[in-house]
């Protein structure tokens, strides 16, 4: 197995190595379907060897963007550049990519072998090499010995891996994955997630995956592109996306987030329920309204009541921690706080209890009032 990896690695050698050279440059791409704008002036650079996830709710344009990159949909305006070649007007056949669809689109009347060899046949490569290559790919996805089976005889996870092997067979410079895991059940999904990620890291092939599953994106991607309504909301590493969401939409779409209506008091302070709170420097107009976003796990609860306080109205048991709903004193707003099981004993957590609330400045982010969440 080790030899396989190395050989494949060397095989693809130009694609690996330099993480900084751009593989794909998307420049001001817009796609309209009639009067509906599916992609609105998208610009994005994807580096060589990178694993990028397009993440967003359904209808946000992520699949359209993927299909535009593949040439399956033609952009209304804008350009695409792959490794320095302008591919904006090329048909899919002339572009360099492999693709795995949500449905896998395995050819039902062909065996696993013929599915994987489908793209090789056409290149007039001799039979022995095709056999070797298919065997190598099937070993790579742990399906050696299934050559003569038909897709219908395979489980969903196995079909998915055949589709992956077929897409990789022709050594594409770019691998496109269109919600590759969404048709599988949860257990298989978790397993395949790490397999695909490991395979990608090993081969170093530049990969773009479309998903609506934030967990998938957070665990697999080098960088995440969060999209909504045809525009990019934020591009960043999973940690950046989670901890420093650039917009209220990103903040609400990834993980759980409290949004509290506050009044801006100064460049570093806001007022919530008549209590003045410190926050990170911002440039929202003083005296206006704003929304303070803070994750439940960042909220600290104390038994000393002074400053911000709230009454416990609901306690939800979630195993490792408990999710507490608090009604803020002096304001008609609720707040969620995650309390680790150990701390809940110290607090003596119970319904109707009034607790002190501390919102750490470095964990809270401020967004303009009225900004859209999910």
Partner 1 sequence: MTDSSLPKAFPKSLPRRGVNVAPEALIRLLVLLAGVALLVVGLLFPLFAMLVKSVQDRSGDFIGLANFIRYFQTPALVNSIANSLSVALMATVSVVSLAFLCAYGITRTCMPGKRLFRMLAILPILAPSLLPAISLVYLFGNQGFLRDVLAGHSIYGPIGIVMGMSFWIFPHALMLLTTALTNSDARLYEAAEALGTPKWRTFLTITLPGVRYGLISCLFVVFTLAITDFGVPKIIGGQFSVLATDVYRQVVGQQNFQMGAVVSVILLLPAVLSFIVDRWIQRRQVAQLSARAVPWQPTPSPLRDWTFALLCYAVAGIILLVIGTAVYASLIQFWPYNLSFTLQHYTFQGLGGGGWGAWFNSLKLAFSVALIGTLVIFFNAWLIEKSEGYRPLRQGLHFMAMLPMAVPGMVLGLAYIFFFNQAGNPLNWLYGTMAILVLNTLVHFYTVCHLTSVTALKQLDPEFEAVGASLKVPFWTTFSRVTLPVSLPAVLDISVYLFVNAMTTVSAVVFLYNSDTRLASVAVLHLDEAGYFASAAAMAVLIFLTSLVVKLLHAALTHVLLNNAQRWRQAG
Q: Which of 48, 136, 233, 338 binds partner 1 (CB under 8 A)?
A: 136
Type and span of the H or E element at 174: strand 174-178
Task: Return the number of the residue (86 or 314) whose C-beta is nearest partner 1.
Answer: 86
Among residues 16, 25, 110, 231, which is the contact residue for partner 1, using CB under 8 A? 110
DSSP string for residues in 77-119: EEEEEETTEE-TT--GGGS--EEE-TTTT--TTS-HHHHHHHH
Q: Which is nearer to partner 1, 123 or 350 (CB)?
A: 123
**50 is a site residue for partner 1 (CB under 8 A):** no
The distance of closest approach from Cβ of residue 148 to partner 1 in the complex, given in angstroms and rounded to an integer, is 10
Would you put residue 172 in left (φ > 0), alpha (ψ -120 to 50) or beta? Answer: beta
The answer to whether 83 contacts partner 1 (rule: CB under 8 A) is: no
Which of 97, 249, 253, 321: binder of partner 1 (CB under 8 A)? 97
Among 16, 25, 32, 139, binds partner 1 (CB under 8 A): 139
Q: Considering only residues 28, 125, 274, 351, which one is a binding residue for partner 1 as defined by CB under 8 A?
A: 125
| Residue 320 in contact with partner 1, rule: CB under 8 A | no
Stretch that binds partner 1, among 24-32, 57-65, 129-137, 217-225 (CB under 8 A): 129-137
Contacts of 294 (CB under 8 A, 6+ apart): 257, 258, 260, 359, 363, 364, 365
For residues 367 and 311, give the distance between their C-alpha atoms in angstroms, rounded to a whole number. 26
Among 44, 52, 55, 99, indicate the residue that binds partner 1 (CB under 8 A): 99
In the complex, the smallest distance separating the C-beta of residue 174 from partner 1, rounded to whole angstroms, is 10
**Contact with partner 1 (CB under 8 A) among 21, 77, 89, 107:** 107
- Nearest approach, Cβ of 137 to partner 1 (angstroms)? 10
What residues from 152 to 171 belong to the interface with partner 1 (CB under 8 A)? 152-154, 166-167, 169-171
Q: Minimum distance between the CB of residue 63 and partner 1, rounded to whole angstroms?
A: 12
Q: Concatenate the DSSP letters of all residues of 271-297 into one string.
A: EETTEEEE-----SPTTSEEEEEE-GG
Q: What is the CA radius of gyration of the chain?
A: 25
Report the residue number, 93 or 332, with the smaller CB distance to partner 1.
93
Q: Which is nearer to partner 1, 106 or 250 (CB)?
A: 106
| Residues of this chain, 174-233, that bind partner 1 according to CB under 8 A | 176
Check residue 40 for interaction with partner 1 (CB under 8 A).
Answer: no
| Contact call for residues 224 and 237 (beta carbons, < 8 A) | yes
Write the CB contacts of 95 (distance below 8 Å, at least 6 apart in sequence).
70, 71, 82, 87
DSSP result, 127-167: HHHHHHHHHHHHHHTT-TT-TT--GGGS-HHHHHHHHHHHH
How buried is 352 (Cβ within 10 angstroms: 0-12 exposed, 13-18 middle, 19+ buried)? exposed
| Cα gap 316→339, rounded to integer Å | 10
Using CB under 8 A, which of 41, 47, 78, 96 touches partner 1? Answer: 96
Binding partner 1 by CB under 8 A: which of 49, 56, 61, 98? 98
CA separation for the pair 113, 110 (Å, rounded): 8
Residues 188, 32 contacting (CB under 8 angstroms): no
Which spans of this chain sit near partner 1 (rule: CB under 8 A)? Answer: 1, 3-4, 6-8, 10-12, 70-72, 90-94, 96-99, 101, 103, 105, 107-110, 118-119, 121-125, 129, 132-133, 135-136, 139, 149-154, 166-167, 169-172, 176
């Amino acid at each position: 197995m080790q030899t396989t990896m190395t050989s494949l690695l060397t095989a693809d050698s130009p694609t690996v190595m330099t993480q900084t050279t751009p593989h794909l440059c998307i420049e001001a791409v817009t796609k309209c379907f009639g009067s509906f704008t599916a992609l609105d002036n998208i610009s994005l650079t994807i580096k060589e060897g990178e694993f990028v996830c397009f993440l967003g709710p359904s209808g946000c344009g992520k699949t359209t963007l993927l299909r535009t990159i593949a040439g399956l949909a033609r952009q209304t305006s804008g350009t695409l550049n792959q490794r320095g070649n302008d591919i904006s007007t090329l048909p899919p056949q002339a572009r360099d990519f492999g693709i795995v669809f949500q449905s896998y689109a395995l050819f039902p009347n062909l065996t696993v072998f013929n599915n994987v060899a489908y793209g090789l046949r056409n290149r007039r490569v001799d039979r022995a090499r095709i056999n070797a290559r298919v065997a190598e790919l099937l070993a790579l996805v742990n399906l050696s010995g299934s050559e003569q089976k038909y897709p219908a005889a395979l489980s969903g996870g196995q079909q998915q891996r055949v589709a992956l092997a077929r897409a990789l067979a022709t050594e594409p410079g770019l691998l496109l994955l269109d919600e590759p895991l969404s048709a599988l059940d949860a257990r298989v999904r978790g397993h395949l997630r790490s397999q695909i990620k490991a395979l990608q890291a090993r081969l170093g092939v530049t990969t773009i995956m479309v998903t609506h599953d934030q967990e998938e994106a957070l665990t697999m991607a080098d960088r995440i592109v969060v999209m909504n309504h045809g525009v990019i909301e934020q591009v960043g590493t999973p940690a950046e996306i989670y901890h420093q969401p650039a917009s209220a939409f990103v903040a609400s779409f990834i993980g759980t987030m409290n949004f509290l209506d506050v009044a801006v008091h100064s460049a570093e302070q806001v007022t919530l329920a008549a209590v003045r709170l410190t926050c990170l420097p911002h440039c929202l107009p003083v005296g206006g309204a704003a929304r303070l976003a803070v994750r439940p796990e960042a909220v600290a609860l104390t038994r000393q009541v002074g400053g911000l306080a709230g009454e416990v109205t609901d306690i939800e048991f979630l195993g490792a921690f408990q999710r507490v709903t608090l009604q803020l004193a002096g304001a008609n707003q609720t707040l969620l706080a995650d309390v680790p099981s150990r701390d809940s004993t110290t607090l003596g957590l119970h319904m109707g209890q009034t607790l002190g609330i501390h919102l750490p400045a470095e964990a809270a982010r401020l967004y303009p009032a009225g900004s859209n969440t999910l």
